[in-house]
Every structure is written in structure tokens, then in C-alpha cells.
Structure 1
Amino acid sequence: MIVQPILQLKEVTKFIGGKKLIDRLSLDVHWGEVFGFLGPNGAGKTTAIRMMVGLMRMSEGDIRIDGHSIAKHFEQAIVKVGAIVENPEMYKYLTGYRNLVHFARMVPGITKQRIQEVTALVGLENRIHDRVSTYSLGMRQRLGVAQALLHRPSLLILDEPTNGLDPAGIRELRDYLRRLTREEGIAVIVSSHLLSEMELMCDRVAIIQQGKLIDVQPIREFVSRETCTEVVFEVNRKDLARQLLASHYSALVPEETEEGLVLTLEHEQIADVNELLVDGGIKVYGIEKRTQSLEEKFLQITGGEQIA
């Protein structure tokens, strides 16, 4: 059985003042995944997100959420979405619980039990009856996620959810999003300028530049899909190791660092080089593959343009 993607962008285009901000953008987001949305300054990332949640109309194309078109069947589509665009807005003089009750009144069928469920899901049980004015930024972000989850959406869209969070708060949010995909089965779209966090958080990432889709890949494949990779061999005799390598692999030019000898190898060559060194009397204390980080890959693809 083929499962339909929860979100489908089909040839989405947006013109403003005669300028094309989004150019025939097409991508799918699947159930139960954390999907990262990246782009340099002015790439059109925020514009695309605003069209996904119905805050901006498309000029051309279509966006479908669980099979429903945002343009033709807005109410059926948007009921599947929970979103935080920029910072979550709450009534600070009310408690977290009273804020959730207030938002629950806007959607039929949300029970006190559901409020308790989302409170537990984001880990606010001990502070939910405190005023929001006493919350840290990380707690307000979690309360915003709880509010976005009240109506059991199938798709959660978070625009820069880590803004202003300290490292502990970022890690907490990352863990909560992972729990959401596992326990609720929903899909999560996250945009962020913290590429190291996106690498830890996301299952797949998409990069757009000048309104166009550059690439969509699973995060692991995205940062390590080259056929050759840098490998560090930590050895006891660097000079003798270099001589052995030169006599058997004339094309390999090892770089000597404090860590050891760095070689660019295909996957199958790693074991062969290790065997050569050991047979030659070299002690190999460690072998480490170096892969590009998401940040390095992003800068390579976009030509060094800054993300926003």
C-alpha cells in the first residue's frame, strides 16, 4: 500500500511586485519524519512556509496537505496543520494551562484530557499552572508546541523554533520533536539557521536558493554521499608509513597532521591501506573517517551564501 505524503508542493510559484520569489518549487514531506528547510538570505524559505500555512497566496501551483488543496479546500487542509511562525504568542498574565484552555475553545472537540496529554508530551506538567510571565524562553517555546498540537494535527510547522534558546533548551526541543514523530506519528517541518542542530534533528533536508529547490536528501546521505572520503590513520611511525604508502600507492599523497596521516580513499581502500601498514610493522591506533558536516555541505552547494 502506497502512503500519500502528508505535504506536497507542486510547481509552487510566487510573484510579488513582478519579482519571482519562489520558482516552481516541488517537494514531498512524509508522515513521521522531521524535515529541515534551509536557505540563504532571501532564498524564499519564509515565503514558502507562509504559503504552506495559508498566510500568503500562491501565484501558481498547488500545496496539498493530506490530499487537500490549500487553494481549493482551505479549511479541510489547514485543520491538519499546527504551526509556530517566528515566536509563539501567549497571554503572559495567564497561566500556561489557561492559555491552552483559551486556544482549545477555538476548535471543537478538544477535551481537558487532551490538554493534559500535550502538557505531558512537552514536559510542562510541573509548571503548567504558573503564569507564562515566569517561563523561560524555552518553556514558552514548549508551550507554543503544546498549543499547536492541541487539535491533533498531522503536520507541525516550526519557523526558527530555536531562536533565543540556550544549548539546553535547544536540546530539549530537539528531543521533544523526536518524541512527537515517534509517539504521535506526525510530520514536522523545521526551519533554522543553526545547521549543526538541523543535522542532529532532521531525517531529511531541503535546500532552496533564489526561490528554486537545489536538493532534497536524507541527512546522512546528504553529508556523506561522496565516493571518496578523507580518512585519518593514527600511527606510531609516520615517516615509515609514508614510505610504505609511496611504494604501493604512488597516487596517494598523505597529509601529515598532529592526528596522524590523512588520505583520500574509496571505501574499499581503507581496509587495504590498514593491512599494508600493519604488515609493514606500523602500529595503527585508530582509523577515523571524516565526513562533511551539514554546514560545510550547505556552504559548498550555495557558494558560501549565509543562511537565514
Structure 2
Amino acid sequence: MMIIRILTCLLLLAIFMYCFVIAIKTRKLIYKMTHPTKFNYEINTKTPYTYKKFDFITRDGIKLSGIDYQPKTACKGTILVFHFLGGSKEAILIFVDFLLMNGYRILSFDNRNHGESDTAQKIKVNLRMDFNAFYEKIKSMGIEGPFGAMGFSMGATQAFWAMDEYDDINAVVIDSGPLIYVKKYFNYVLNIKKIKNPVCRAAFLFVFLHYIGFTRMSKKTINVLKNLNGKNVLMIHGEKDNIITLENAKLAYELVKSNNASIWLVPHSRHLTNKYLKPKEYEERIVEFFNKNIAVELNYEKNSSNIS
């Protein structure tokens, strides 16, 4: 009897240790994904624009960092830009510098755990809370619409949500997004990271899909897209995108499809490589889209605010 008890205790201890190791491994992976490495991006001050940085606070007390890029020519519109996972308000500049050269003002910010914004210890993603705080800060600075918006990958979700929530966001450009088929995406992530342990995979998927809330986020995005039917939307997606696959973009387009929405599928392009492969057409399509939908005759001094 004593031997059986000892063996039972050893078995339970082994199971506990196994689960503990799996939990630690899973948490490290989850934390790393929700807290990507921050990189410093240099801003090229020789280009024809100026910039100012500003800070603001979210409802849960996280300090975020924003930036206001202004063209040196007369400003004909303002575009809010939402960055990709692991990106920043500086990293997006190589994707949107042509808009500055065409007279558009660019406002962007670092989501929590990115760039110069604070790092939150919690692993839950708060994309909506972050862009709400960003929008409220912009309005408090006296910057008025109509606005355009541009979202890259992760930022595509924020751009769509923002358009649904704020009436003065009149046109949205999406590059390599949004993510809708979340379970397929996270299985892809696990495969890339060569996580084969079934318990670890199950724990990872449960946390991301249900605790962090990507399943809810996907459902919300679908509902938002239905609400945006008839809105001015330009979607750009690589036909060979293996991260946010083409089926995500096709579903999103079907939900917003109207005479005011269009989709450009870039041949041979992968994730966030559309501008790199088709730079001239990429820039021309986006400038034409914003010129048509948000460009107005503006007094530059009137629409430039003092944020010092």
C-alpha cells in the first residue's frame, strides 16, 4: 500500500512538473508575441516634411507616444496611420512618405508595447483602447477632419474599427489585412516556431483565442465590416501573403463590397511587400483614392496645431 501511495505521489509530481514546464514555455511565447522587440527607427530629416512628437494616456493609464508629420507644402488632408505588429510610428514612414510629398499630413502613434510607448505587463491586447485614446488626443489638439486612415497588417483592424466608430473618417486604405481567420493564423505561428507539443499548442491557442480575445476580435471585425458596406475603402493584398492569407482579404472585401470599395491583389507579393514590388502603382492608386475622397482646400496654418 505504501509503495502504491509513493508511486501515485511521484506520478502526480511528474504530471505537475510537466504542466508547470509547459505553462512557463507557453507564457514566454505568448509574452514575446504580445511584447515584440522594440527597434529604433531613424527619421530622415532631409525629406520635405517636419514632425513633432506628443504623448497621451489611455483609459487604463498606459502612456503612448504619437507623431505629427506635416508636409512643407499646403496641406490638403489628414491621414491617420496604424502600424503593423512589431512596427512603430517611425517604421510606417517608408510606406507613406509619398503621401507627405503629395500634401497630406500624417498622424500616427505607437501601440502599447511598441516603439516609444509604455510596456504593459498584461498580455491582453487593447487595440481599441489605444486608438480611442489616439483619436481623442488628436481632437484635443484641435485637428479636425475629414480624415483618411491607413492600416497595415495588425493596424488594418484598427483602421476599420476607427472608421466604424468615428464619422469624420471618410476613407480607409488597408495594406495586408485584416486578420479574420485567427485560429489558422496562430496555428501558422506555432508551425513557424516549431511548437509540436500538443499540450503547449492547445494552451497557446486557448490563451490567444479566448483569454486575450482574438476570437471575439474576429467576430467584431466581421460585424464592423458589415457596417462599412458602402464606405470608401481601398484594400491592397499580396496574392502570396502567407501570414494574413488572401482568404482574409477576400472575406473582408465581400463584406464591405460596394461601388465605393475596391481591392487590388498584387501578384507574387507576400506580407507587406506590395509597395516594394509595385511602388509606382501603389503610390498612384493611394494618392488618387485620397484625392477623390478626403482632399479639400485647406489653410495649412489653420490646420497645423501647436502641440509643444
TM-score band by shorter chain is: under 0.3
Q: What TM-score results when the alignment is normalised by the length of structure 2?
A: 0.26
Q: TM-score, normalised by structure 1?
A: 0.26
Bigger strand share? 1
Higher relative contact order (CA 8 A, sep 6+): 1
Larger radius of gyration: 1
Q: Which has the higher helix share?
A: 2
